[in-house]
Structure 1
Amino acid sequence: METGKMRNSVSMVLLMLMSTFAAIDIPEAKASEVVLTDAIQIVNGGSANDRMVATDADSMGNVHFVWSRNTQHLYYQMHDPRGDVVISETQISNPGAHRAWHPDLAVDDNDNVHITWTDKASQWAIMYTMIDPSQDDQSGDAAIDDVISLIDDFEVSVHTQNRDWPAIDTDSEGNAHIVWEDSFEELDKFYQQPQIYYSMIEPDLISREAIVAVGETLLTPIIGHKGHPDVAVDLDDFVQIVWDDTRGGKVEMVAPIDTSGSMNTEWADMCVVFYGGYFASGGYFEGLKPMLLRANMTVYETLYALSGNWPSAATSGNCAAAYQTGGSGSQGPRTSPLGLVPGDDSGGIRELTEVVYNNGAVNLPQDGGYYSEFWGPGSTWACMSWRDASGNVPGNPPTQLDHRWNPNATKIIIPISDEGPYGGDPSQQSDDTQSINEAHDACVEAGIIPVPLLAAGFGSGSTNVGSHMMDLAQCPNGFVSMNTRSCPGSNIRLTNAEGQMYSFPTTASNSAELQLMVEAMVYLSTNNSREIYMTILDPLSLLENPPPTWQKGDSGTFVDTTADRYIEDLGPSIDGLGYGNLVVVNDTRITLNDAYSLHPAIAVDNSGNTHLAWMDGRAYGYDIDVNYEIYYTRLRLRGAGEWNGAPDGLPTYGIKQIVDSAISDVEGIEGIPTDRPFGPTLTCPRF
């Protein structure tokens, strides 16, 4: 069958041409050679804000549009192949309060239009509507929602937390397959990080009801941020789903830590955060590094002991291995970045005896007091080690040794202290303020996110110190406050550094704040660069050959509350016992690049080839705030491996007929006008 994602799509034709001639030197096309029709205005909303349009074509060449008006109601319009309006703008969301976002639509083989969107009016919900345009007289005026709607505003998913970015396609039987990202998961294992969900809807046209064939199914039961899915159904009714994913990403964390006598417990607990163990308050945490290693994410970390003083906890217990990795107290900053050699992913705990203040190097003799609390100049040094005052990258601050950052990782500094940033208490002195101003500016210039932790001990921590940390994390505001800063961005000093300060308590009575801090660290560690992933489902085989433990409407992923785990239904379309399975190809990585790859789109042609397009920053660097181009690849998924569940996915290079290729004009960093730094950016492709 032809899927709605393919039919009569000019974009698909262009990408097919690209894929056919990718390896051939062809002349640059002129606009008149590729534009098949002149642009026409679809709708004149007047003062209304019409946005987030989605479109598809039917078997007769008619084009169907759906969009959000004022991010409130959902509207629909239909044009014939000549571009004439046959059904004018029609509100298809029910009366009442709505906040319609990110609609998508697909036209089935019977020319019925299936629509999904997010309703953010209250608890965010994924919605589904099916309309039959033939029920209208198609005279050019608006239709009546109740007449053309076969299934009206059906709620696919609503829970606590948020969900968004739904996508839809249909199979040869007119069933709707919907995917979306969702921060809810029943076992609450993944710190409310968005995951990819799937559901299949069977429309009952006689009763005008939506029958849930496959219930809400968590497809990505592993920690990490996933988002922006798209879906296409192939000729054999296999459901192919693509999304962007932080698995494969890298993050580097540098922590200048106060080593004065009051910080012993914080050292012990910070090693628990990174390496695992029991907090001083009694709770257990498995550690960022082992947690993310299972999810194919890399955390590079270096914990710096300010002034080279060594609290006992920094050299023993959960810190012992890291202390040894860092030279057992004998080594300062490394001379090479982490991650250049496989397995070299930890800087351990090292001494930091020279920092930056007032554009000069400041020596920190070992004292366990005054010099052990220079976390402000230590933060300046860390950020200037990536980009210095002269704009050099990597930087060369005025110290003998610099921190060598991994060039491709997301970069974060985590200063930790219970006293002022320049020599401890009293804080809020002129040198404290200057050191924070310098650190803030250096981190903004370097694009490094500061996330200071206020050591609270047995209480709530110092407001004066917390205010310094808020000035560093966001922007200085000139007065003592723990409130969120207003950062207009009119200069470097008033630019938001995009960080956040967290309280770091060490007592059981403040366990909620400790949990919040741990969740923040997990979020920072996992919200790094994105790769493109995909999976393949066979829901019709599961429905036709269900195992005894599954019935129609159930989720395709089993929730084992006893063992606190999710069990995916992995296997071939028909296994040795004659039962069907949902996931025939598990998560397969498509891109292998440290840059951000986001917002993928997918389509399948009549020859069974899969076409992917996405926005990619690899031509401009490894940060999220870079220019983006549109990249494309063509995949042949059959023959690269068995579709038997493929627990580890298919081989990335084995499935590619055309390697990742930019199909937009890559100006390059040197070709970007300095007055319009994001002018060439292209985002969010669609087929």
Structure 2
Amino acid sequence: MVLRLRLAIFLTLLMLLTPVAPLLSIEQVSASPETNGTASPVEISRVATGILSEPAIVGDSAGNFHVIWVENHSKLMYLAVDSEGSSAGQPSQIGASGGNIKWSPRISIDDSGILHMLWIKDSTSSNCLVYFASNPTTDSDPTDGFYNPTDYSTNNVVCKTNFIIDNIANPNLAVDSQGAAHIVWQDKDDPLDSHFGLPAIRYSMMEANWSSHMADSPIFDTLLTTSPSKSTFPELTITDDDEIVVTWQDSRGSMVEIAVLLDSSSWDGMFDEWKDMCTLLYGGTDRQGWPSPGLQNMADSVGVILLDTIYGLGDYVPPNPADYGNCAGHHNTGQRSNPVILTEQYHTGGIRKLHRTIFNGQMQNGANQYEDWGPATTWACLSWMDANGNVGNASNPPTLYDHRWNPEATKFAIPISDEAPKTGNTGTSSDDDQSIAEAHDACVEGGVVPITVLGEITSSSSNSMWSYGLDLSQCPLGAVSSNPRTCSNINVRNTDAGGRVSQWPATGQNLSQMFDFWMGILHSGTPEVWTTVLDPYAKLSDSSFQRGMPAHSENGGVYSEDIGWGGQVANHFVVVNDTKITDDDSWSGRPDVEMTSDGWFQYIWSDSRQGRSQSDSHELVWKRVNLEAWDFNGQASGIDLSTNFAASSQVQYLSPLDGTGAVGARDADAHNGQGSIIIDDDDLMHTVWVESDGDLSTNITYRRSADATRNPQQNLPNPWYVEVMGQGVGELGPTYDLADWQSEKMSVGGEKILINVDADMFGPSIAVTSDNRRTAAVVWVDSEPCDTGATGLPFGDHLCFRRIQRSILLIESDVPSLSRTLEPGEQVTMNFTIEHLGPSSGNSMDVKLDWSGLPSDWTVTALVGSGQGQILMSPIDSNWQMPSGGNLPVSLIIEAPSKFDATISESHQPSIGIVSTDGIHGASLFLDINLEVIHGLVLDALQNTIQIEQGGSGLLSINISNYGNIWEDVSFPNRTTSSGRQIWGLPYGWEVDFVDHISLLEEGTTTSKNLQITVPENQVPNSVNLTVVATSDKVSQQGVPGAEAAYELTVEVIRKRAGNIIFELWDPIEEVLPGQCAYFMVDVTKHYGDDDVIITVEQGPPDRPESISLEAWRQTNWVVNIDYSALPGGNIVEPTARRYFTSGLSRNIFVELCSPYDALASETQEVTLRAELFVDSQAFDEISMQVVVLPYNSL
């Protein structure tokens, strides 16, 4: 059994410490492999024998384990165990630890293989937390019995006076990526005297100094829980960003109900206690001037719900003091017990009268009951559960008025008196003993904790009064004694009720120490699991922070934390303030936390389910939380997990749900606790805990998860579920018994009932290696020699060690990398070694390869063995026999799909495994097999620009090349569909003539295809971009590089000049007599697009000067008149103005050409019209009209 040392027994222990020889080698114990599971616990080893403390273990990257423990209270011992489970030396005393008393060893390891150790050492004046870092490879002789590495660094983390019991307790450490150690512990140190004797969580950072061997503390002794609450059992883990995640159990969030049973004989000495009780509970100044903050106020300040009722015995409440001083306003005058329960909203019953008490199972009528605190306690406890087992409101003790307890609260019955428990006599009587025994049993049966507070008693009665109090709060002794009780717990009468005893301060003393005692009661309710996140490197980057100082401050009489952003945003220390992980009324304690690669925090703790007292049985519970779903901005009020349900999981019970959970059952057979968790590099969670037993069938139980980063599925809601082969359903994976022999383990076993689960020592320590085997190991203290059957061993404890392989079968790669990348048609050989980890003398096992995870167009061949004995496995899962203790090579030949079959790049994680044919044993590796398909389609041409006249066509050659590593089938967009024309970029009326498909374009080849482009006549002359797009038929989705090629070419559409504008005239020659006019109707038509047209008169008679009249001018001159009215713009615009013609538009121009009056015969005149495009004068047409004068005979 482990002894937790205290100052009170320090000198005694020094005298009792006698050398007990440690075991110098690991003894192997045969063990049958577990069945129907995924893990294989192998041999059990006995590491040491003696008086042993709780051990600690860590695994390294070479497959070794490092174990430390304290032997005979004074020697810190170390042993390395190799990957085969054999000792790498012998148990060795750590020389740097010295010879003082020590306990609570812890160990961690960093990425460089440096061991970081921690323990508490004790001296006559102080307790110190000691840090020791070392390189185990520098210990020159691991067989000399001393661990003295030359590379080491050590220092005290902190030292505190041991005047306060448990001033330093429950330390833990973790190491970050930079090799610095981060240490947490619980501590009652309270320089501001504001925690009232309650433990708090503290933190320090340590850095090794290999030159001076003196470790440094960059951040010293920092308070993490600044509120006065009971904060205990800290654990920690570290994020990838070297943020520190601390978790612990805390009384904040609990509900406590106290029924104060106060002796009402104020005329007989119980006057000051009445006044003081109100001062303690409701606040105010005591008789000595000490200001009490009030228990109710303190409860409210930290989120504890305190339900209180003060009962005056004998159906009487003394009006003075009950109606005066700090009691004023709390006296429910004349009222007896409240018929309804107290709640968070209605949390105080005030001061009431206790009508009748219970003695010998009956209600007491009459008589003097003012001082019957024994029967009053019986009444209080039977009010919760009566003699018939009825509970809560159904309870019906033999009284008219009963106390109604809140079922969700932790319940305390607290009698206060200065005289004996039955009728207040000063001596001892059988009635006193009977009343105490009856009250004790009622409280034990109901799970109500009796706390005895003695009034201002005289020295003559002190011994008997303390004896009564201890008999009630612990167990009846049957004799008068003020010594603490040793309860056998074999029946109800001998069961420790779990309470304690205190005494009212003497006259002249203030209530400060008594208030601390009551604060201890207030914070004895069901704890919750809390977490905070720290960023020490952000704090160290703060220029105002002095290295070596605490990261909290003490100003104005209060403790303050440095809360805010850390990291790259700011330089605060607390980046997530205290956050509640659990939120229920059960007892949630002994948490542990680790982090998976996806950033989720994995929590375990022990949980009392429906239980509300410290003596209820627990189960091991798991929950995962993603705190990174919130900003690490300090979260000064903590994170409310209910605001993001996706960031946390439902709880999962990991231990078997045992017991009925009945009130007061105290069922040790149903208790599972003291859990530990570790996560390996594959994100598998390993947990171990103590499965308690009322006899000696206590067991160490192990469970392992699947990949903790696996997304929840319908049948696999969390990583602890495994698929039931062939049934399409999931179930909770198996547990493994690591130590199912009869013994006490980690000080648990042999007791029928539970007293206080918080008094359990730490659980078995678990570790896992970071080599390929990922072997787990568990170490624990056992009262038996680890099932060896050995006899004649020295008296004491035994340190047992057991490894858990992934499987008794193992497969390992011959090279570190399991990743291969192949091109189409390529093949690769991967070599593995398969091992049977059983003894060489064992039987062979029928096994087969388990291969899966590649598509059917891949070819996989397996060869087992070597040389002439090599076997081609066909089919690949053929059976063969694997010799026990042997190993065989396996070659896996993987051929990628051919260049014809390959389509796109692929990534696969196939598994290659070795399994026994009965399905019990197996191991596998996930490979990373990649197919690199390179699509290299390229289009080009000798030219990227072509000129085509309106209405014409052009021809160019397109080269299609395959520079990839597969054969390609190539398609081009369909020019007859709207979507295809859109890809080509074809304007309306355009046409292209090109190949639709090319089959089997081999890698490294180029083919050429002609592209003919036809432009419509009405296409406006401009530049048009067309795109030739080639797509691989082997790719279904877009965006695959090289699977699509595009070539953009520019078609410069040039204007068709010939025939762009056409004049037409039926007869261009007319004959007239002198003075007559000829008329012409000229048709003008526009082709090949819309344009502005300019029409001019290129040739014709001269214009008439304005100074000459028309009549005079016509005598000898020709005159032409042109009518443009039918043209766009008509005659309104200038004759030579731009006129907009649309393509195909045809209009008439009317021309009148008149001959002179004096014209001669055969005189001729010609008019020529020209039409040209405004934008291109070379696109034109001209037409001429001619008039000939006929001879005119006159007399």
Q: What TM bracket, shorter-length normalisation? A: 0.7 to 0.9
Query: Which stretches in structure 1 are left out of the alignment for 5+ residues?
Result: 1-28
Q: 1: CA distance between counterparts of 2:580 and 2:308?
A: 25
Residue aligned with 1:335, SS: coil
Q: Which residue of 2 aligns with 1:25?
A: none
Cα distance in 2 for residues equivalent to 1:319 and 1:676? 41
Asked if residue 603 in structure 1 is aligned to residue 594 in structure 2, the reply is: yes
1:461–1:503 CA contact under 8 A, matched in 2 = no
Select 2:638's aligned residue among 649, 655, 662. 649
Q: Is the 8 A contact 2:34 2:41 kept in 1?
A: no
What residue in structure 1 maps to residue 339 of structure 2?
A: 335
Most deviating of 291-300 and 393-402: 393-402
Unpaired segments of 5 or more residues in structure 2?
1-32, 679-1195
CA contact (8 A) 2:659 2:669 kept: no
Equivalent in the alignment of 1:415: 415
CA distance in 1, matches of 2:564, 2:365: 61
Cα distance in 1 for partners of 2:239, 2:250 equals: 23
TM-aligned CA distance change 1:669 to 1:111, over 3 Å:
same
Whole-angstrom distance in 1 between the partners of 2:294 and 2:255: 16
Once the two structures are TM-superposed, the CA of residue 148 in structure 1 deviates from its matched residue by 4.8
* Structure 2 contact 410–525 (Cα < 8 Å) conserved: yes
Q: Hey, what does 2:385 align to over in structure 1?
A: 387
Distance 1:500 1:52, change over 3 A: closer
Counterpart residue number, 1:14: none
Deviation at 1:121, TM superposition (A): 4.9
TM-fit CA distance, 1:255: 1.3
Secondary structure of 1:683's aligned partner: strand
User: Could you tell me how far apart the structure 2 residues matched to 1:72 and 1:384 are?
Assistant: 48
1:131 equivalent to 2:134? Answer yes
Secondary structure at the aligned position of 1:214 is classed as strand
- Alpha-carbon deviation of 1:403? 1.0
Give CA deviations for 1:380-409 in whole Å, capped at 9, x if unaligned: 101111222223223321112211112232
**Structure-1 separation of matches of 2:190 and 2:102:** 23
Distance in 2 (CA, whole Å) between partners of 1:53 and 1:521 is 35
Counting strand residues as a fraction of each chain, which structure ranks higher? 2
For residue 550 of structure 2, what is the aligned residue in structure 1?
Answer: 555
Find the aligned partners of 1:211 and 1:486 in 2 and give their Cα distance. 45
Match of residue 792 from structure 2: none
1:116 aligns with 2:122: no
- Is contact 1:452-1:473 (8 Å) kept? yes
CA contact (8 A) 2:426 2:461 kept: no
Among the aligned pairs, what percent are the same residue? Answer: 33
Asked if structure 1 preserves the Cα contact closer than 8 Å seen for 2:311 and 2:354, the reply is yes
Structure 1: which amino acid aligns with 2:435? S
Partner residue, 2:371: 373
Distance in 1 between residues matched to 2:478 and 2:139, nearest whole Å:
63
CA separation of 1:448 and 1:461: change in aligned 2, threshold 3 A: farther
**In 1, Cα distance between equivalents of 2:313 and 2:54:** 51
Report deviation, 1:649.
1.0
Residues 279-290 of structure 1 mapped to structure 2, 5 A cutoff = 279-290=286-297
Question: 1:204 aligns to what SS in structure 2?
Answer: coil
Q: 1 or 2, which has the higher helix percentage?
A: 1
2:252 is matched with which residue?
247
Distance 1:250 1:146, change over 3 A: same
The more displaced of 214-223 and 129-138 is: 129-138
**TM-superposition CA deviations, 1:231-262 (whole Å, max 9, x none):** 11111111111111111112111112122242
- 2: CA distance between counterparts of 1:175 and 1:215? 13
The separation in 2 between residues aligned to 1:315 and 1:177, in whole angstroms, is 54
The match for 1:6 is none
> Tell me, what secondary structure is at the counterpart of 1:243?
strand
| 1:187 shift after superposition | 1.8
The question of 1:626 aligning with 2:612 is answered no
Q: 1:454 to 1:545 in 2, by over 3 A?
A: closer
Cross-structure match for 2:815: none
Q: What residue number does 2:277 align with?
A: 270
Structure 2 residue identity aligned to 1:229: P
User: Deviation at 1:72?
Assistant: 2.7
CA distance in 1, matches of 2:650, 2:504: 46
What CA deviation, in whole Å up to 9, does each residue of 1:121-174 have, x standing for no partner? 543221111111222469x7457533255114x211111232121111111211
- Find the counterpart in structure 2 of residue 235 from structure 1: 240
SS at match of 2:431: helix
Cα contact 1:89–1:142 (8 A) shared by 2: no
Partner SS, residue 644 of structure 1? coil
1:668 Cα deviation from its structure 2 partner: 4.2
Change (3 A) 1:631 1:116: same
Match of 1:22 in 2: none
Q: CA deviation at 1:601?
A: 1.4
Q: Does structure 2 conserve the Cα–Cα contact (< 8 Å) formed by 1:602 and 1:610?
A: yes
| Equivalent position of 2:70 in the other structure | 68
For this pair of structures, how many residues does the alignment match?
A: 632
Mapped to 2, the partners of 1:471 and 1:668 lie a distance apart of: 29
**Closer, same or farther in 2 for the Cα pair 1:600/1:486, shift >3 Å?**
closer
1:324-473 correspondence runs (5 A): 328-339=332-343, 342-364=344-366, 370-394=368-392, 395-425=395-425, 427-456=427-456, 462-463=461-462, 465=465, 467-473=467-473
**Distance in 1 of aligned mates of 2:208 and 2:480:** 60
1:320 pairs with 323, 328, 332, which one? 328
CA distance in 2, matches of 1:310, 1:104: 55
C-alpha RMSD of matched pairs (Å) = 2.8
Structure 1 residues 42-53: aligned runs within 5 Å: 43-45=46-48, 47-53=49-55
Q: Is the 8 A contact 1:353 1:363 kept in 2?
A: no
| Distance in 2 between residues matched to 1:99 and 1:149, nearest whole Å | 25
Contact map agreement 2:197 2:516 (CA 8 A) in 1: no
Q: Give 1:40 deviation, angstroms.
A: 4.2
1 CA distance for matches of 2:302 and 2:551? 21
1:71 Cα offset (Å): 3.6
How far did 1:115 drift?
Answer: 1.3
**Equivalent residue, structure 2, for 1:538:** 535
Contact 2:136 2:149 in 1 (8 A): no
TM-score, normalising length: structure 2: 0.50
Whose relative contact order is higher, 1 or 2, with alpha carbons under 8 Å and at least 6 apart?
1
Q: Is the 8 A contact 1:421 1:427 kept in 2?
A: no
- Say whether 1:613 aligns with 2:579: no
Please state whether the residue corresponding to 1:209 is helix, strand or coil: coil
What one-letter code is carried by the residue in structure 2 that aligns with 1:660? V
| Cα distance in structure 2, aligned partners of 1:371 and 1:136 | 73
Distance 2:541 2:89 in 1: 38
**In 1, Cα distance between the equivalents of 2:661 and 2:575?**
45
SS in 1 for 2:88: strand
Displacement of 1:679 after TM fit? Answer: 5.4
CA distance in 1, matches of 2:384, 2:677: 36
Superposed CA offset, 1:313-353 (max 9, x none): 21233222321xxxx323221222222xx412111111111
Does the alignment pair 1:101 with 2:103? yes
Q: Partners of 2:670 and 2:374 in 1: how far apart? A: 36
In 1: Cα distance, 2:450 partner to 2:283 partner: 23
1:442 Cα deviation (Å)? 1.8
522-531 or 64-73: bigger deviation: 64-73
Cα deviation 1:27-56 (Å, max 9, x = unaligned) = xx9845321562342x532x4244522222
Instruction: Answer yes or no: is 1:58 the counterpart of 2:60.
Output: yes
| Residues 1:149 and 1:36: Cα distance change in structure 2 (over 3 Å) | farther
Q: Take 2:257 and 2:459, find their aligned partners in 1: how far apart are those partners?
A: 28
In the alignment, does 2:308 pair up with 1:301? yes
Residue matched to 2:660? 669
State the SS of the aligned residue for 1:517: helix
Structure 1 length normalisation: TM-score? Answer: 0.85
Q: 1:631 Cα deviation (Å)?
A: 1.0
Cα 1:461/1:584, change in 2 over 3 Å: farther
- Counterparts in 2 of 1:239 and 1:670: CA distance versus 1, 3 Å: closer
Q: Distance in 2 between matches of 1:444 and 1:214?
A: 46
Contact 1:541 1:580 in 2 (8 A): yes
Deviation at 1:467, TM superposition (A): 4.4
